[in-house]
Chain A
Amino acid sequence: NAGVTQTPKFRILKIGQSMTLQCAQDMNHNYMYWYRQDPGMGLKLIYYSVGAGITDKGEVPNGYNVSRSTTEDFPLRLELAAPSQTSVYFCAAKTGSRGYGYTFGSGTRLTVV
């Protein structure tokens, strides 16, 4: 049981390039999330999903897209990378049950140059 797995761990992109950050969970959780964390700051919600086929915007969705075709996977797409997207990206998953909290992946550190 790996929990939440993110790939890649590190990536350097040039301005204007595109990439997909992968997130997979093996806990059969319905809820999945993407956050970004800028240096010295808390986490900001980018997008989230409450189940396969359902996604919604968070606080900072501009410049990103998501899809949720299966319960297990929740990829985050950057179409035209900008320096402002340099950050650490975290994926998280949660069961719908009240008594359980969030499980986070180990993060993807992205630098746009």
Chain B
Amino acid sequence: KQEVTQIPAALSVPEGENLVLNCSFTDSAIYNLQWFRQDPGKGLTSLLLIQSSQREQTSGRLNASLDKSSGRSTLYIAASQPGDSATYLCAVIETSGSRLTFGEGTQLTVNP
């Protein structure tokens, strides 16, 4: 059974810092990996999708990397802003492409 772990569970940083969120998974036979953002009381917004054949994806100040062999992904946020405050969820898609398993998320607070 696939298990996804996110470290740290919570993170508080001053505005302007670069930061890294970590995601690890137990079964490296994955199809894709997707990072989401969730604001309090809201739904999930997709940030980045990394296919299993890729090593990284970039969108603006966000960069996500994937190392399948070690079962790890990182989400790098450059020059953090208070508007980045949210919970960030990592999810892996199994090889059939049909099921998504989530980590419990990292709650990020960026202080002005």
Q: Which residues of A contact B (CB under 8 A)?
A: 31, 33, 35, 40-45, 48, 50, 58, 90, 92, 94, 96, 98-107
Q: Can you name 29 A-B residue pairings with CB atoms under 8 Å?
A: A31-B97, A31-B98, A33-B100, A35-B102, A42-B89, A42-B102, A42-B103, A43-B102, A44-B102, A45-B100, A45-B101, A48-B99, A92-B100, A96-B97, A98-B31, A98-B32, A98-B51, A99-B51, A100-B49, A101-B34, A101-B49, A102-B34, A102-B46, A102-B93, A102-B100, A103-B46, A104-B44, A104-B46, A107-B43
In the complex, the answer to whether A98 meets B43 with C-beta atoms within 8 Å is no
Contact among A58, A90, A100, A101 with B43 in the assembled complex (CB-CB below 8 Å): A90
A98 and B97 contact, CB distance less than 8 A? yes
Q: Please, which residue of chain A has its CB at the minimum distance from the CB of B47?
A: A101
Residue of A nearest to B89 (CB): A42
| Contact indicator B89/A101 (Cβ below 8 Å) | no
- Complex Cα spacing A104 to B97, Å: 16
A101 adjacent to B98 (CB under 8 Å)? no
Size of interface on B: residues with Cβ below 8 Å to A: 23
Beta-carbon contact of A43 and B89 below 8 Å: yes
The residue on A at minimum CB distance from B31 is A98
A48 to B100, CA, bound (A): 10
Contacts of B102 in A (CB 8 A): 35, 42-44
B49 to chain A minimum Cβ distance, whole angstroms, is: 4
Main secondary structure of the interface of B (DSSP, over half): strand
Using a CB–CB distance below 8 Å, which chain B residues touch chain A? 4, 31-32, 34, 36, 42-44, 46, 49, 51, 89, 91, 93, 97-105
Known: A98-B32, A101-B34. 17 other contacts (CB 8 A): A33-B100, A40-B104, A42-B4, A90-B44, A94-B100, A99-B49, A99-B51, A101-B32, A101-B49, A101-B93, A102-B100, A104-B46, A105-B43, A106-B42, A106-B43, A107-B42, A107-B43
Bound form: Cα–Cα A106–B41 in Å: 9
In contact, B98 and A50 (Cβ under 8 angstroms) = yes
Give the chain A neighbours of B97 by CB distance below 8 A. Answer: 31, 94, 96, 98
Q: How far is the CB of A28 from chain B (nearest CB, A)?
A: 17
